[in-house]
């Protein structure tokens, strides 16, 4: 069940989301689109974090996003992309008009049944759907502990597990790949990144302050981060590739 209160929390942020959130390794886009195609649709595109990886893989890239604040950033960053106001439940493109649909860090916000039908509608007969999530590396205890502050119900951190454990309507089982990667991040930027996460955005001021304090405490106490202004953050990106049938 989608928590619409949390989903709506992204409506008003754009610049801060773009500045703080990580990108995705190029290998994740290559897993979905191994050879150039004519048209790719990036659904729930946000500020274009994943969209930017697609521009070299298609003649035409369309980005669909319901947040005006995020679309404004995407249009400025990627003027070559056709950016449209829309949602996964009402995709503003014709039937059978795209070879590939991608969804990065967003499918868990969609109405599963309706979105799957809409994606199937806009894909060509042999089209491909790629779902992508960044999440904590299991080896990084401090990042997983901070993730539990934001997502206490997700013991393994945010991933596609809950979304993909059952088949998507209209699609066969996916091909699954994981890409491991690392980024160097300052402590200040790491803490600020959590302030762009839905549970932090939707919390009232006192609750949010308490969540930030818990993250700060984890960083103060973990031997890999204590007393350090910057650190290496390992991450894992899950990629699920579905082929329409």
Pick the closest to residue 91 from 120, 113, 70 (CA basis).
120
The answer to whether 140 and 234 have CB atoms below 8 angstroms apart is yes
pLDDT score recorded for residue 156: 52
Q: What is the pTM of this model?
A: 0.87
The answer to whether 100 and 127 have CB atoms below 8 angstroms apart is yes
Average pLDDT per 10 consecutive residues for the chain, totaling 245 residues: 48 70 93 98 96 98 95 96 97 98 94 96 97 93 94 64 77 95 95 88 91 96 96 96 89
CA separation for the pair 100, 191 (Å, rounded): 35
For the chain, how long is the longest CA-to-CA vector?
Answer: 55
In 10 A of CB 168, how many CB atoms?
22
The answer to whether 76 and 97 have CB atoms below 8 angstroms apart is no
pLDDT score recorded for residue 3: 45
Contacts of 218 (CB under 8 A, 6+ apart): 142, 145, 146, 149, 225
The answer to whether 202 and 150 have CB atoms below 8 angstroms apart is no
CA separation for the pair 69, 81 (Å, rounded): 16
Residue-averaged pLDDT of the chain: 90
pLDDT score recorded for residue 4: 46
pLDDT score recorded for residue 182: 95
pLDDT score recorded for residue 202: 83
Tell me the pairing of strands 98-104 and 175-186: unpaired
CA separation for the pair 120, 105 (Å, rounded): 19
Decide: residue 16, CB within 10 A, 0-12 exposed, 13-18 middle, 19+ buried.
middle
pLDDT score recorded for residue 203: 87
The answer to whether 237 and 157 have CB atoms below 8 angstroms apart is no
């Amino acid at each position: 069940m989608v928590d619409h209160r949390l989903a709506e929390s992204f409506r008003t942020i754009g610049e801060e989301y773009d500045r703080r959130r990580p990108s995705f390794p190029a290998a994740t886009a290559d897993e979905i689109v191994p050879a150039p195609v004519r048209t790719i649709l990036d659904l729930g595109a946000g500020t274009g974090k994943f969209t930017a990886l697609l521009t070299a893989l298609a003649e035409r890239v369309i980005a669909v996003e319901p947040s005006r604040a995020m679309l404004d950033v995407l249009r400025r960053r990627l003027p070559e992309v056709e950016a449209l106001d829309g949602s996964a439940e009402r995709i503003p493109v014709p039937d059978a008009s795209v070879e590939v649909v991608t969804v990065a860090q967003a499918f868990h916000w969609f109405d599963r049944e309706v979105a799957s039908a809409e994606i199937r509608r806009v894909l060509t007969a042999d089209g491909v759907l790629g779902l992508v999530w960044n999440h904590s590396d299991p080896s990084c205890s401090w990042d997983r502990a901070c993730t539990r502050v934001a997502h206490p119900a997700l013991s393994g951190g945010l991933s596609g597990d809950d979304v993909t454990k059952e088949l998507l309507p209209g699609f066969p089982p996916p091909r699954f790949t994981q890409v491991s990667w690392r980024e160097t991040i300052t402590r200040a930027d790491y803490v600020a990144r959590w302030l762009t996460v839905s549970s932090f955005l939707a919390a009232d001021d006192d609750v949010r302050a308490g969540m930030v304090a818990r993250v700060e405490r984890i960083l103060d106490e973990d031997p890999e981060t204590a007393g350090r202004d910057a650190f290496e953050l390992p991450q894992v990106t899950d990629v699920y590739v579905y082929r329409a049938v």
